[in-house]
Amino acid sequence: MNVKPLEILYKYYGYTSFRNGQEQIINSIVNKNDVLAIMPTGGGKSICYQIPALCLDGITIVISPLISLMKDQVDTLKTMGIEAELINSSLSNSEYSQILDNIDNNKYKLIYVAPERLDNLEFINLIRNKNIAQVAIDEAHCISSWGHDFRKSYKRIPNFIKSLYKRPIVTAFTATASDEVRYDIMNILSLEDPAIYITGFDRENLSINIVKSSSKNRYLLDYVENHKVESGIIYAATRKEVDSIYDGLLKRNYSVSKYHAGLNDEARKENQEKFINDDIKIIVATNAFGMGIDKPNIRWVIHYNMPQSVENYYQEIGRAGRDGDPSECVLLFTPGDIHTQKYLVEVGIENPERKKIQYKKLQQMVDLVYSNGCYRKSILNYFGEEKKDDCNNCSNCLNEGEIVDKTLDAQKVISCIARMKRGFGATMIIDVLRGSKNKKVIEQGFNTLTTYGIMKEYSTEDLKTFINTLVAHGFLEVVENLGLRGSYPTIRLNEQSMKVIKKEIKVEFKESKVTKSRYVENELYERLVELRSEIARQSNIAPYMVFGDATLKNMTSIYSTSKDEMLSISGVGEIKYDRYGHQFEKVIQSYIDEKNINKNELLKEKASNDVDTKIKNDEFFEVNTDLKLYEKLKSFRLSVSKLEGVLPYMILSANTLKEISGRYPLDEEQLKDIGGIGPVKIDKYGEDIINIIKEYIEENNIVPKWEYKKRLKLILDGDNRKNDEIVLDLLNQGMTIKDVCDEIEISTSTVLGYVCDYLKQNNIIKFNIDTKKFYTEDEKKIILDVIDKFGDDKISSIKKALPDYIKYESIRAIILERYL
């Protein structure tokens, strides 16, 4: 067939360009190559096998694990005029027979099949004689015992493929796959020289917020109130928790439903469809909900409990913002979540090896929660994708919220635990601190302690939250103890506790802010939403299958009332325009007439506003270095680095010093707005830096005018180049790698990485690099062996697999040689 993928994309889907990685994957399949594609949830995997299905001569069989996933995709394909059908346990005998007849008559281009149906002889005998162009396996991680969602039914797939008289193209798609899982997928499916695509796990439109210091219930209720007009998912670890949250929201009259394995099939199906069809706004669920849900306008996902693994977490938050619009992901954490997940592992997994794997994954999730660095960077590194810069879209990067000094209260808690002599649980500690007359408190003689009743102003719930927060931040430790009635946690002091008591460190917590909804009322948009819902009900499909939210918003922004205007909107293809376009044009024209709108004048005004907005949004925050102050700050940094025995740039980078010198921050609150100096460094160096600045501006009669940078991009001394661009420019000017590292204060490994990335994009360099000086021949052999196993794009995985003495720069140099 000579149909081009881009033509199909526009005709059926209404888009004029592919997302990141889609075109390369599609072209590989159309050129009859096996493919393994790892793409983020919401990254557009389905298009990657659907469009080849329409290009290739023959049938594409899509193997998919969930009925809801199949139904959504098949319904969507049908609305676009594509012949598709599904085969799973939801069909009656007569429906199944009719579908088999249609297959026999070559009616379908795509057939979605549940893996459980692959050993049905009637189906196999029919399908093996057909021209099967492609077998696409969705959620392919389910085939691996290392996968977070392993399913035995997926083991049937290789035998099914072998049963076909002619081997088709085999393609496998997943959102989350570690190195072990990728190997399993390729090996078990016997992929033949597959093209492997990792399009990147990053979903930049998702903000990631991990909240460790607030009462869960209070935060949740505040959040839901602020976001009640948007679609959102609340995940909880247990059915009991789901029921409790659901009941609490329902009695407060929120538009809410629930989903867990304790409900019967009919109730789960009904609740899920209400959510998909926008009949309800919020669904509270266990992780049994969501795999394959294609609803694009989910604006937020809240995890009421920490998930069992990074894979689970990233897949679940990936259900937000599939339309590409900004969406928020909030994880509410207390240390009790860890014990809940350990219990679920113990009772839910029998196989010792699987249990060991799951405990390892759980620890990796705990490490993420406790991470002080960029959460997105940690997640991407977990999946083997290196991210050089912080995302500035997670709670660790943004550092929003008020910093509150809780040192005195922490000292009270720690002193109480110390005076109680041995380990007790949080309940007993709280009773003592609040001055309870509980029988056990009196029997132990705790009512005679000086700390008895010292925190009676706290409620039990607030004090429990505060103690959990102390644990979460490492000021206290939880110990699991085994007793006659099972395990029970007690709280003990650690090295950090002693430093708090001795006033060597402060206890400061950031009180998280609950965000506001981005929803803006628009009467025309609401009318289009109403029309969309009506069409969806009549067609028995989900509203987003008619047009997505972003498409409707674009209709309202240009008041589209003609075919040309409609087809200029992303998401409106020819098929959908013929089917629905006139109805939407009619509603828009009616609104224009009713409101007496001069469309031409309004669009001119909008175009002018758009230009102003673009200029405003593209604004940079420009800072010019005060060189004299910069030199004073460098001298201070050098003296500190000698005391601490580290390199100067490890204290503070040159760019941070330049920004400070050009902005003159005069207190800790202003210092927080400077890039590269977080709370820990402010605590260590902030007072000295502020004193240097105050002394300097007084000496030089400077009256600084402070402005907050917030999220604007910093431009230092008129240079808006990124570090990699600066590195390549300096190397092109003849500077050595060592001189470049000294100039912009980065490591040799980073410089080599920048050069390698530049070459990977088919660029040419005009300077020479002697890579051999960065490694020995023995090191080269060891490194190459590991690269052969992991590939050369997973630096973190390679480093972990090598002896500790091998440096990053040695790995980078050997990889760079491949592209020179």
> In 10 A of CB 743, how many CB atoms?
13
Q: Kindly state the percentage of the chain with pLDDT values over 70.
A: 92
**Across 149-163, 383-397, 667-681, least confident range:** 383-397
- Mean pLDDT score, 554-574: 88
Residues present in the chain in total: 820
Domain of 795 in residue numbering reads as 723-817
Q: Six-digit token pair at 382?
A: 């977990």
pLDDT for 60-91, tens place per residue?
Answer: 999 988 776 788 889 889 988 899 999 988 78
Query: Taking 50 as the threshold, does the pLDDT of residue 612 lie above it?
Result: no
Query: How far is residue 38 from each of residues 196, 436, 461, 698, measured CA to CA in Å?
Result: 8, 56, 43, 58
Model pLDDT, residue 497: 93
The mean of the pLDDT values for the chain is: 85
Q: Is residue 247 pLDDT above 90, yes or no? A: yes
Contact 461, 427 (CB under 8 A): no
Tell me, yes or no, whether 391 lies in a domain.
yes
d(CA 140, CA 136) in angstroms, rounded, equals 9
| Distinct helix (H) and strand (E) counts, the chain | 38, 19
Q: Is 413 found in the same domain as 394?
A: no
Most confident by average pLDDT, 77-86, 369-378, 455-464, 798-807 = 77-86
Q: What pLDDT does residue 611 have? A: 47
Strand 508-511 versus strand 282-285 pairing type:
unpaired
397 and 409 together in one domain: no
**pLDDT category, 147, cuts 50, 70, 90?**
low
Last residue of a domain, one of 489, 511, 533: 511
Question: What is the structure's pLDDT at 61?
Answer: 96
Supply the CATH number for residue 793's domain: 1.10.10
HEC-encoded secondary structure of 158-193: HHHHHHCCCCCEEEEEECCCCHHHHHHHHHHCCCCC
- Same domain for 427 and 391, yes or no, is no
| DSSP conformation class of 541 | S
Query: What confidence score (pLDDT) does residue 615 get?
Result: 40
Q: Which one is predicted more confidently, 762 or 641? A: 641
The token duo for 683 is 């605590």
Is residue 516 domain-resident?
no
Least-confidence region, from 109-113, 246-250, 420-424, 689-693? 420-424
Which CATH number goes with the domain that contains 563?
1.10.150.80
pLDDT at position 519, please?
65
Structure confidence at residue 284 as a pLDDT band (50, 70, 90)? very high
591 part of a folded domain: yes
Per-residue pLDDT, 189: 92
Q: Is residue 646 part of a domain?
A: yes
Q: Same domain, yes or no, for 171 and 23?
A: yes
Q: Say what the pLDDT of residue 510 is.
A: 65
Closest CA relative to residue 307, chosen from 247, 235, 248, 257: 235
State the pTM of this model.
0.58
Q: Do residues 531 and 581 both lie within one domain?
A: yes
| Same domain (yes/no): 173, 254 | no
Q: How far is CA 724 from CA 296, 721, 728, in A?
A: 35, 8, 6
Tell me the three state secondary structure of residue 393.
Answer: coil
Q: How far apart are CA 408 and CA 404, in angstroms?
A: 11
Domain boundary among 198, 227, 249: 198
| 518 domain residue, yes or no | no
State residue 119's pLDDT score: 80
d(CA 289, CA 140): 18
**Whole-number pLDDT of residue 617:** 44
Tell me which residue of 236, 34, 213 sits closest to 136, measured CA to CA.
34
pLDDT reading at 52 higher than 90: yes
Q: How many domains does the chain have?
A: 6
pLDDT, residue 303, reads 95
Claim to verify: residue 688 and residue 778 sit in the same structural domain: no
More confidently predicted of 619 and 471: 471
Q: What is the CATH number of the domain that holds 102?
A: 3.40.50.300
Q: Pick from 716, 725, 723: which is nearest to 747 by CA?
A: 723
Report the C-alpha gap between 358 and 349 in whole angstroms: 9
Does 701 map to a domain? yes
Residue 320: how many other CB atoms lie within 10 Å: 29
pLDDT tens, 641-680?
Answer: 888 887 888 888 888 999 999 999 999 889 988 888 877 7
For residue 545, pLDDT beyond 60 = yes
Closest CA to 679 of 400, 381, 341, 471: 400
Domain boundary among 198, 230, 263: 198
At 410 the pLDDT is 94
Is residue 620 predicted with pLDDT exceeding 50? yes
The predicted pLDDT at position 65 comes to 81
**Is the same domain home to 702 and 774?**
no
Q: How confident is the model over 699-720, as pLDDT tens digits? A: 888 888 888 886 677 887 766 6
Beta bridge pairs of residue 63: 113, 137
219 pLDDT above the threshold of 70: yes
Dihedral over Cα of 286, 291, 292, 298: its sign:
positive
Q: What is the CATH number of the domain that holds 448?
A: 1.10.10.10
Rounded distance between C-alpha atoms, residue 225 and residue 711, angstroms: 26
Say if strands 169-174 and 35-38 run parallel, antiparallel, or are unpaired. Answer: parallel
Residue 289 has pLDDT above 60, yes or no: yes
CA angle 524, 528, 534 (to 5 degrees): 145
**How far is it, in rounded angstroms, from Cα 102 to Cα 599?**
49
102 located within any domain: yes
Q: What is the dihedral of CA 41, 43, 46, 52, to 10 degrees?
A: -150
* pLDDT, tens digit, 9 for 90 and up, residues 425-460: 888 999 999 999 989 999 999 999 999 999 998 888
Residue 457 lies inside a defined structural domain of this protein: yes
424 and 500 co-located in one domain: yes
**Contact in structure between 655 and 625 (CB atoms under 8 Å):** no
What's the token pair of residue 444?
A: 């132990």
CA distance 624 to 394: 28
Is residue 580 scored above 90 in pLDDT? yes
* Cβ contacts of 626 within 8 Å, gap of 6 or more: 661, 662, 664
Instruction: Output the pLDDT for position 486.
Output: 46
Check if the beta carbon of residue 796 is closer than 8 Å to that of residue 811.
no
- Stretch 791-803: mean pLDDT, rounded? 81
> Partners of 15 in the beta sheet?
none
Q: Which helix (H) or strand (E) holds 402?
A: strand 402-405
556 plus 590 within the same structural domain? yes
569 and 642 assigned to the same domain: no
Instruction: Mark whether 542 and 659 lie in a shared domain.
Output: no
